[in-house]
Amino acid sequence: MKPFQKSITYLMAVATILVSGVLYFSSCTHDNELLVSNGPKIERGDLKLNFPADTKLTYDKTHGNVGWGTAYLGGLSTLTGRFNSFGMTTFNFDESNADGINFEAWVWINSVNTSEPGRDGGCLQTTFGTTTSMTTETANVAILKSKSVELSTTDKGYNVKCDFTFHGVTKEITGKLMYDGETTTGSGATLKTVYGFSFDFQFLAQTDFGIVSTNIADKIDIKCNAIFRQVP
């Protein structure tokens, strides 16, 4: 081989080694890069509500709801209904600050309603351990009171631990509070800002609260909707 050809061959070999080294180094350093999460970007606003301390803010029971669902006879199709008598004792909300969120709410258990008279006036009263004549007796009042709140890391909701009192027994449950948004109604003197919230949780009626009826399953699903109206 001529000297010139040997030089070209040598240079090509050196270049190949250098390129291989760069590629190897690049692949090694890539393994050590900080991976960026592709999870949801959660943005929260600055809404603050204080009920009943804020006299311009009212609880709109007419457009609220406390619904329930459970498997009929413990394992068949879902039996659903609502409670007609319910209320909000306090509701404080700070959209970006979990420490500023707390609430207390109640229902009268004998106000259970499924729009079927054959159930509502008879077997469901027995199932829930109450009677139509009760009002504020322990057996007729269920109370939900928040204990601690955490900002959800997967959505814009709030994970809430509550004390749930039912038939005189208090157990801790965990539920999900959602701020569903706001809009305005009316104009001029009738202008109001309307805020919507929802709260879902479950409890074990038989295991934790001593309900003995076989008409329902142990697990009861509760879905609550609350509306507040605020004048300027």
In sequence order, what are the residues at sequence separation of 6 or more whose Cβ sits closer than 8 angstroms to the Cβ of residue 72?
A: 78, 79, 215, 216, 217
pLDDT of residue 2: 52
Task: Compute CA distances 107 → 104, 137, 146, 151, 166, whole Å.
Answer: 11, 12, 15, 27, 10
pTM metric for this prediction: 0.79
**Tens digits of residue pLDDT in 106-118:** 999 999 888 887 7
Instruction: Lowest mean pLDDT of 22-26, 110-114, 130-134, name the range.
Output: 22-26
Q: Are residues 169 and 57 in the same domain?
A: yes
Q: Are residues 133 and 224 in the same domain?
A: yes
Neighbours of 203 (CB within 10 A): 20
The predicted model gives 8-27 an average pLDDT of 47
Q: Are residues 27 and 62 in the same domain?
A: no
Q: What is the DSSP letter of 74?
A: G
- Residue 14: domain span: 1-36
How high is the mean pLDDT of the chain? 86
Q: Are residues 22 and 113 in the same domain?
A: no
Q: Are residues 17 and 71 in the same domain?
A: no
Q: Are residues 181 and 159 in the same domain?
A: yes
Whether the predicted pLDDT of 15 surpasses 60: no
How many whole angstroms from its chain centre is CA 214?
Answer: 29
